[in-house]
């Protein structure tokens, strides 16, 4: 039994998307983030080898809910436990993905939530810090949109 088109087949099949295709394919990176505010500042992280700061969180894994991702990512990055029952949706924001080809966007779904533990940087995080609205230029484009929202609502000064 040959294939109907007589076209050669390859194994394994090509993945539906790869980083090499970013320059020709519009795509969206699905991320979940934890908004943690204190004294009108926001908790932010800087990954090893990076200059920009990011709101803590990360990419969803297959089959995960928003809250599953939130709990896993915050534990991985900050070694703290999010209390799932306290998670409250803040908003969903979209912008050009920092450090990616034009047309690759990030969609950041943000939550606040109570937690247990003291944030401690994991091996992938070089620094944890509190940023104010004056630090807006030190964060990624999607985080800048979130900073603007929090500033407009009087939560970030």
* pLDDT digits 0-9 by tens, 59-116: 999 999 999 999 999 999 999 999 999 999 999 999 999 988 999 999 999 999 999 9
For residue 102, is it within any domain?
yes
For residue 14, is it within any domain?
no
For residue 116, is it within any domain?
yes
pLDDT at 1 over 70: no
> Is 150 or 13 the better-scoring residue by pLDDT?
150
For residue 19, is it within any domain?
no
b/e 119-142 (16+ beta carbons within 10 angstroms → b): bebeeebeebeebebebbebbbeb
Looking up tokens 């690759």, which residue turns up?
104
- Domain carrying residue 41: 24-152
- Angstrom distance (rounded) from CA 68 to CA 91: 17
In 3D space, the residue among 155, 148, 41, 23 whose CA is nearest the CA of residue 95 turns out to be 148
pTM for the predicted model, two decimal places: 0.82
Query: Considering the chain, what is the average pLDDT of its residues?
Result: 89
Give pLDDT, residue 26.
Answer: 81
Which CATH number goes with the domain that contains 31? 3.90.79.10
For residue 39, is it within any domain?
yes
3-state secondary structure of 42: strand
For residue 8, is it within any domain?
no
* Count of structural domains, the chain: 1
Q: Could you count the other beta carbons within 10 Å of the beta carbon of residue 36?
A: 22
For residue 16, is it within any domain?
no
For residue 47, is it within any domain?
yes
């Amino acid at each position: 039994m040959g294939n109907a088109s007589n076209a050669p087949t390859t194994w394994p099949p090509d993945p539906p998307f790869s980083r090499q295709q970013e320059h020709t394919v519009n795509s969206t990176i699905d991320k979940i983030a934890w908004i943690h505010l204190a004294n009108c500042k926001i908790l932010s992280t800087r990954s090893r080898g990076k200059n920009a700061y990011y709101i803590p969180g990360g990419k969803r894994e297959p089959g995960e809910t928003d809250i599953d991702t939130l709990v896993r990512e915050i534990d991985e990055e900050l070694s703290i436990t999010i209390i799932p029952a306290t998670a409250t949706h803040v908003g969903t924001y979209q912008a050009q993905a920092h450090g990616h080809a034009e047309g690759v966007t990030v969609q950041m779904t943000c939550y606040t939530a109570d937690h247990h533990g003291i944030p401690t940087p994991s091996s992938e995080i070089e620094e944890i810090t509190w940023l104010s609205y004056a630090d807006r230029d030190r964060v990624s484009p999607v985080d800048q949109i979130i900073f603007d929202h929090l500033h407009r609502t009087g939560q970030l000064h």
